[in-house]
Amino acid sequence: MNSNVLFLWPLYFSIVLVSGLLYGKWMANLMSEESPRFEDKLLRYLGIDTTTSMNWKDYLLSVLMFSFVGFIFLQIILMSQQWLPLNPDHKPNVPFLMAFNITASFVTNTNWQNYGGESTLSHFAQMAGLTVQNFLSAAVGVAVLVALIRGLIKHDTNKLGNFWSDVTRFTLRILLPLSFVFALFLVHQGVPQTFQANVPTKTLEGANIQIPLGPVASQIAIKMNGSNGGGFYNANGAHPYENPTPLTNFVHLISILLLPIACVFMFIFMLPNHRQGYMILVVMGIMLGVGILFSYWGEIQINPITKMHFLEGTETRISLSECSLWSTLTTAVSNGSVNCLHSSLSPVAQLIALFNMMTGEVIFGGVGSGLYGMLLYVLLTVFMAGLMVGRTPEYLGKKIETKEVIWVGVALLSPGLMNLLFSALALNLNAPLSSLAHVGSHGLSEVIYAFSSALGNNGSAFAGLNANTIFFNLTTGIGMLLGRFVVIVASLYIAGSMGIKKVAVTGPGTLRTDTSIFAFLLWSVIIVVGALTFFPVLALGPIAEYLLMNNF
């Protein structure tokens, strides 16, 4: 166990916990509806009403309209970048299907990339298209989370707040200042921030190459803070222009987890009984910690084929402990960025990465989206536990009925079902099979990883799969949209349904949801519903690869 594990990991988690607590308390106050903010006045000048609190249907309609307009706007930018400004390298227009996939990716906060950013997109498309959506898609996730929390803690009302006010507050007060400071730090560390064209130069061998430049630091800042993960460069966080120093690597890791954990603390401070929220924090923390330890253990094993640690795909300037920590965090937090090649991870580390995504991205998950996914698991656990022990299924004093459980089932099961269907289709058609870089168990993992990343709105990839094809552009694009908006529809319906209910008096027949027993039940439901859905394919993928590699 090296010094990174013994000293840097404890320092890392201490910083994240303290910073997340402070940010969470600030966010809880910021997202309250008690007093108008200057953003509300600004929106009123623009003709947007922020004084009217919306019911769940109006809130959902606003989410869908906002996302649809952003979708059209980004699609147009990508397909017309050749004629737009800030294109010094004269990048051509992006073809329709690739533009559709990119647009679906960034509007849904997935940031799956089947293209090389430095070779495909202009500075304008990167900045005005992708970076803008990095802010807005993250803000939408938090707005939906806040609406769900209001529906759970309020009673006798169908009002969930104002979407436009929620999105604007979070964008201007949290994302912009945090990203501005982070971008300045990255520039100080050597990350480019310029509108300059590519710089021609020669290698030591005398070959002519182009060094790609652009507004990198501003995009990387929100890429990390907003759980987006879409890099300016194809190599993402492994590229020296995105992640040039050990200090930037450490701060990148902090930014992956900071706002997702702050959302949990925000929930804690918005609850009348804080213990309800701390129970969720503990479950998430334990699952993340176990995943990190198993991933690191897998990476430091001796590969029986190379007789070395699993160093392929890991730069010498980035240690195995940093690679395993990043790969576990980015798949648990729905960030999607990488600092090493996931296709070259050990089978154990591959299993952990897939497990994190297959649980529905609820181990902290994306900004906002991770916690509202976890709250759906909480409602399902309450309902199942209540049925098993014969107690009233109630959460925060409100009865959970069949209609809520149906929508919970839709939200939690439909992404997994679509994942398996798309993967089965890809493995039975010649065109998708030709995109694989490997065969056997590793080839299966490439396919299931791609769709797990898309349906989970994660964005990371094995990087061995050629996904820029008609089949994968369509299926992963559709998958990203379904994985995002099916869960949003279910969450807002449940928020509206729970908000109008009365709070029941707690009695001896009420199941407590702030205890260690309930935490264990919640963990069990996540494993059974989330992970075991994929156990057969995991057994044929990374588990089989591990057994074959070690001659079991």
Q: Token digits for 143?
A: 């707005």
Which candidate, 357, 410, 459, 435, places its Cα nearest to that of 109? 459
Confidence of residue 531 (pLDDT cuts 50, 70, 90): low
Distances (CA, A) of 224 to 107, 134, 361, 462: 16, 9, 16, 19
Distance CA 311, CA 287 (A): 25
Tell me the average pLDDT across 252-278. 94
Give the pLDDT band (50/70/90) at residue 117: confident
Give the Å distances, CA to CA, from 206 to 202, 211, 346. 5, 15, 36
The radius of gyration computed from the CA coordinates of the chain, to the nearest angstrom, equals 23
pLDDT above 90 covers a percentage of the chain that reads 61
pLDDT confidence tier of residue 372, bands split at 50, 70 and 90: very high
* pLDDT tens readout for residues 314-359: 888 888 888 899 999 999 998 889 988 888 889 999 999 999 999 8
- The pLDDT value recorded for residue 33 is 66
3-state secondary structure at position 252: helix
Check residues 310 and 291 and name the one with the higher pLDDT.
291
**Long-range contact set of residues 47-50: C-beta below 8 Å, sequence gap at least 24:** 48/164, 49/162, 49/164, 50/162, 50/164, 50/165
Q: Grade residue 88 by pLDDT with cuts at 50, 70 and 90.
A: very high
Residue type at position 70: G
Residue that wins the pLDDT comparison between 347 and 44: 347
39, β-bridge pairs: none
Find residue 208's DSSP bridge partners: 202
Q: In the structure encoding, which two tokens stand for residue 40, read together?
A: 């509300």
Higher model confidence: residue 74 or residue 204? Answer: 74
Q: How high does pLDDT run on average in the chain?
A: 90
- Amino acid at site 463: A
3-class secondary structure per residue, 317-358? CCCHHHHHHHHHHHHHCCCCCCCCCHHHCCHHHHHHHHHHHH
Between CA 458 and CA 479 the distance in angstroms is 11
- Sign of the dihedral through C-alpha 276, 280, 281, 285: positive
- Candidate from 42-56, 61-75, 99-113, 155-169 with smallest mean pLDDT: 42-56
Q: Is the pLDDT reported for residue 309 higher than 80? A: no
- Cα–Cα distance measured from residue 446 to residue 431, given in angstroms and rounded to the nearest whole number: 15
Q: What is the DSSP letter of 82?
A: G
Burial class (CB in 10 A: 0-12, 13-18, 19+), 35: exposed
**What was the pLDDT predicted at 435?**
87
Mean pLDDT value across residues 290-304: 89
Segment 396-453, tens digit of pLDDT = 888 898 899 999 999 999 998 999 999 999 999 998 888 888 888 988 999 999 999 9
Q: Are 463 and 434 in contact (CB under 8 A)?
A: no
The Cα–Cα gap between 136 and 142 comes to 10
Q: Minimum mean pLDDT among 60-64, 229-233, 262-266, 277-281: which range? A: 229-233
* pLDDT value of residue 3: 62
What mean pLDDT comes out for the span 131-140? 94
Separation CA 11–CA 71 (nearest Å): 40
Question: Which pLDDT belongs to residue 267?
Answer: 95
At residue 507, the pLDDT reads 65
User: How would you write 133-200 as a 3-class SS string?
Assistant: HHHHHHHHHHHHHHHHHHHHHCCCCCCCCCHHHHHHHHHHHHHHHHHHHHHHHHHHHCCCECCCCCEE
CA–CA distance, 87 with 339 (Å, rounded to integer): 28
Q: How many residues does the chain have?
A: 552
pLDDT above 70: residue 517: yes
What pTM was estimated for this model as a whole? 0.94
pLDDT computed for residue 235 by the predictor: 87
Q: What is the 3-state secondary structure (H, E, C) of 393-421?
A: CEECCEECCHHHHHHHHHHHHHHHHHHHH
The confidence band for 122, taking pLDDT boundaries of 50, 70 and 90, is very high
128-138: average pLDDT: 94
pLDDT at 341: 86
Average pLDDT over residues 462-476: 89
pLDDT per position as a tens digit, 239-262: 999 999 999 999 999 999 999 999
| 65/345 Cα distance (integer angstroms) | 40
Give the residue from 531, 543, 524, 11 showing the smallest Cα distance to 298.
543
Residue type, 304: P
Q: pLDDT tier at 508 (50, 70, 90 boundaries)?
A: low
d(CA 97, CA 395): 44
Highest mean pLDDT among 42-51, 261-270, 359-368: 261-270
* DSSP-assigned letter for residue 533: G
> Does position 183 have pLDDT exceeding 80, yes or no?
yes
Q: ∠ CA(462), CA(368), CA(402), 5° rounding?
A: 100
pLDDT-above-70 percentage for the chain: 97
| Packing angle, helices 176-189 and 216-225, rounded to 10 | 130
